[in-house]
């Protein structure tokens, strides 16, 4: 049979793809890759349960299903059945606490956003609440050393909302992200209570040439209580602390700590106003934060 014959091409392709090798993709398959759609459906049920469901009969029928499906998903990550059941039960037991934190996040959004008309509007339409809800649920799994699932969950939320929160980040109570598109919160970030971020904020890490050497090391900033960070600000480094009560202005690039009650602003931009028939007038913006 000719090497270019369709049957021979098909056979060679199948043989090559099915051979077990030692590359990264083969290792990933061996570690277990959960079904994305099944995981997405499970998360949507979790969110609905803690955000809007209050009927006792519905909860009584829904929670066992959540446990069963979580055990199945955990099994697809190669966790043994006994451990999967322990994790699922512990996770479900944490749902009331997660709901309590999300209720405070919604309150913070209502108090912090004058455009919010009511609590229902925030729950059903704010991308930040969707992203924070997924983060808080995924974080519980992260704390239980669940592989793969927490990151899959927050990356799905990232794709749907534009808000990238690593499930390993530590985030306090009454957290609010206004607008939210382009926000990045890295794995070892620590955020206190009553913190507000705006769109485009990055709480990231400095990137050395060999980033794998920093795996497991704190490399993202610490944001203390009652801090506001305006749009486009970038704060990098695991040794950077933004002190309690501080305000970081828009587009600031920060690589060092600032003390409590600081006001951090960049150089005000200048612009030119041209009037027909008149002289050009230079202006410089003055920040008031």
Q: Are residues 141 and 189 in the same domain?
A: no
Asked whether the predicted pLDDT for residue 247 surpasses 90, the reply is yes
- Beta-carbon count within 10 A of 289 CB: 11
Q: Are residues 150 and 173 in the same domain?
A: no
**Vertex 115, ends 114 and 116: CA angle to 5°?**
90
Question: 95-112 and 81-93 are packed helices; what angle lies between their axes, rounded to 10 degrees?
Answer: 40
126-172 pLDDT tens trace: 999 999 999 999 999 999 999 999 999 999 999 999 999 999 999 99
Asked whether the predicted pLDDT for residue 285 surpasses 60, the reply is no
CATH code of the domain in which 132 resides: 1.10.3130.10
The whole-number pLDDT of residue 52 equals: 85
* Domain C-terminal end among 98, 132, 164: 164
- With a CB cutoff of 8 Å and minimum separation 6, the contacts of 91 are 70, 140, 141, 144
* 169 close to 186: Cβ distance less than 8 angstroms: yes
pTM: 0.88
- For the chain, the domain total comes to 2
19-60 pLDDT tens trace: 767 888 888 888 888 999 999 999 999 999 998 878 888 889
Report the distance separating Cα 177 and Cα 164, nearest Å: 12
Q: Are residues 234 and 144 in the same domain?
A: no
* 42 close to 66: Cβ distance less than 8 angstroms: yes
* Domain C-terminal end among 164, 195, 219: 164
Q: Is residue 72 situated within a structural domain?
A: yes
H helices of the chain, in order, are 6-18, 24-31, 36-51, 56-75, 81-93, 95-112, 119-125, 127-143, 149-161
CATH code of the domain in which 264 resides: 2.160.10.10
Query: Three-state DSSP class for 220?
Result: coil
């Amino acid at each position: 049979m000719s090497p270019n014959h369709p049957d021979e091409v098909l056979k060679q392709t199948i043989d090559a793809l099915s051979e077990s090798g030692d590359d990264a993709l083969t290792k990933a398959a061996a570690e277990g890759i959960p079904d994305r759609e099944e995981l997405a459906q499970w998360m949507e049920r979790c969110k609905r349960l803690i955000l809007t469901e209050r009927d006792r009969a519905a909860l009584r029928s829904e929670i066992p299903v959540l446990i069963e499906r979580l055990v199945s998903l955990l099994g697809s990550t190669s966790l043994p059945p006994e451990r999967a059941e322990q994790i699922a039960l512990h996770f479900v037991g944490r749902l009331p606490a997660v709901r309590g934190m999300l209720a405070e996040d919604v309150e913070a959004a209502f108090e912090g956003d004058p455009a919010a008309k009511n609590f229902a509007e925030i729950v059903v339409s704010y991308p930040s609440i969707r992203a924070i809800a997924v983060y808080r649920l995924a974080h519980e799994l992260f704390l239980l050393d669940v592989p793969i699932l927490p990151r899959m969950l927050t990356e799905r939320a990232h794709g749907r909302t534009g808000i990238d929160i690593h499930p390993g980040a530590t985030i306090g109570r009454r957290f609010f992200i206004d607008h939210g598109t382009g926000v990045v919160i890295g794995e070892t970030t620590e955020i206190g209570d009553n913190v507000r971020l705006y769109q485009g904020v990055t709480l990231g890490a400095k990137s050395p040439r060999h980033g794998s050497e920093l795996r497991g090391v704190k490399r993202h900033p610490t944001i203390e209580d009652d801090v506001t960070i305006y749009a486009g600000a970038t704060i990098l480094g695991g040794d950077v602390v933004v002190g309690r009560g501080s305000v970081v202005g828009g587009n600031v690039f920060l690589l060092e700590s600032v003390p409590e009650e600081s006001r951090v602003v960049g150089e005000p931009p200048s612009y030119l106003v041209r009037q027909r028939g008149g002289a050009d007038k230079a202006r410089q913006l003055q920040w008031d934060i």
